[in-house]
């Protein structure tokens, strides 16, 4: 089978047109003095150096009244209460699981924060503790919500709702956390025939839309029936679209993903990841999004 090969070419310089670059965005690098005024409060991304407020990361300065903070371009996931995350179990410890969520410390899923299969509400006993591995093992993917944040920054998750729980068959796409837009709901059933979970931590889960809606107890039951081919094709196409959008740093939410999918229908699935076709599709998507806003 023929393989696509390319020779290296000079990278296209991103055009920085005058109006956009001087749009009042205050960009700083580590060590830059933001202000010497002592009236401001110090937020994230800054530190005090001899009465001067200095930036410690490279990014944009955000000012809210008296609070100055610097938001870096790329950072690990900093969770807040209420965020939906998709994570992988790394360890099974006493009375809790450790979940890896692309943040700076592994998140914690306490045994008391999961729904027992069967939906019972009772105190967790010693047998429950011993049977933890039957519910979730190392390597399982789960969707959960952030319940609280510990003092050192680790997140405490819970899956106390039917829509959260262990994830079955599907595709995981990892992007930067800053690209996922915060919305009311992160679970979408796309009209093109697949479903998507946009985790705030940058992990996006694509799966075939489940047939019946009455699943027992928070998704511990994973169906292993083979997924039909058209569904798989839809999911693959969606995945490539997500990667294309992420490469061009477009904010990801259900509308943008959908527009991108529709723009890509004219191309073959495997061509979507080629740079020039990626450019084309993303440009179309951006245009449609602008039209929709305006």
Q: What is the contact surface with another protein in residues (CB under 8 A)? A: 14, 16, 20-21, 23, 25, 27, 29-31, 45, 47, 49, 54, 56-60, 72-76, 90, 98, 100, 104-106, 152-153, 178, 247-251, 286
Q: Which C-beta is closer to another protein: that of 109 or that of 194?
A: 109
Output the smallest distance, CB 98 to another protein, in A: 8
Q: Which C-beta is closer to another protein: that of 188 or that of 286?
A: 286
Of the candidates 286, 266, 274, 200, which has an alpha carbon nearest to the alpha carbon of residue 244? 274
CB-based contact 282:244 (threshold 8 Å) = yes
CB-based contact 43:9 (threshold 8 Å) = no
Cα-Cα-Cα-Cα torsion 103, 104, 110, 113, nearest 10 degrees, comes to -30
Output the smallest distance, CB 75 to another protein, in A: 4
Q: Which C-beta is closer to another protein: that of 153 or that of 275?
A: 153
The Cα–Cα gap between 35 and 17 comes to 28
Output the smallest distance, CB 172 to another protein, in A: 14
Find residue 195's DSSP bridge partners.
Answer: 189, 207
Q: Which C-beta is closer to another protein: that of 35 or that of 178?
A: 178
Output the smallest distance, CB 52 to another protein, in A: 10
Output the smallest distance, CB 152 to another protein, in A: 5
Q: Which C-beta is closer to another protein: that of 45 or that of 199?
A: 45
Question: Which string of DSSP letters, residue by residue, matches 8-59?
Answer: --PPPPPP--HHHHTSS--EE-TT-EEE--TTSEE-TTEEEETTEEEE-SSE
Tally DSSP H helices, then E strands, for the chain. Answer: 6, 17
Q: Which C-beta is closer to another protein: that of 116 or that of 172?
A: 172
Containing H/E element for 70? Answer: strand 67-72
Output the smallest distance, CB 290 to another protein, in A: 9
């Amino acid at each position: 089978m023929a393989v696509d090969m390319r020779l290296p070419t000079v990278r296209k310089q991103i055009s920085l047109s005058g109006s956009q670059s001087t749009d009042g965005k205050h960009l700083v690098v580590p060590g830059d003095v933001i202000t010497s005024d002592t009236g401001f409060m110090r937020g994230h991304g800054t530190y005090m150096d001899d009465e001067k407020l200095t930036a410690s990361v490279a990014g944009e300065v955000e000012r809210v009244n008296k609070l100055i903070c610097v938001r870096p371009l790329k950072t690990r996931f900093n969770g807040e209460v209420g965020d939906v995350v998709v994570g992988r179990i790394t360890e099974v410890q006493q009375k809790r699981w450790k979940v890896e969520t692309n943040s700076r410390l592994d998140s914690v899923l306490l045994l008391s924060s999961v729904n027992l299969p069967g939906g019972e509400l009772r105190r967790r006993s010693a047998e429950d503790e011993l049977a933890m591995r039957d519910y979730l093992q190392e390597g399982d993917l789960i969707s959960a919500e952030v319940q609280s944040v510990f003092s050192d920054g680790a997140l405490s998750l819970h899956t106390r709702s039917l829509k959260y729980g262990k994830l079955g068959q599907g595709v995981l796409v990892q992007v930067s956390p800053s690209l996922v837009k915060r919305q009311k709901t992160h679970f979408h059933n796309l009209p093109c025939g697949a479903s998507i979970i946009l985790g705030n931590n940058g992990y996006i889960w694509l799966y075939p839309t489940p047939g019946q809606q009455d699943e027992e107890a928070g998704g511990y039951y994973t169906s292993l029936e083979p997924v039909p081919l058209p569904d798989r094709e839809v999911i693959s196409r969606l995945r490539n679209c997500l990667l294309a959008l992420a490469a061009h740093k477009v904010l990801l939410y259900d509308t943008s993903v959908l527009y991108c999918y529709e723009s890509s229908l004219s191309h073959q699935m495997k061509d979507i990841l080629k740079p020039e076709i990626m450019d084309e599709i993303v440009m179309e998507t951006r245009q449609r999004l602008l039209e929709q806003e305006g």
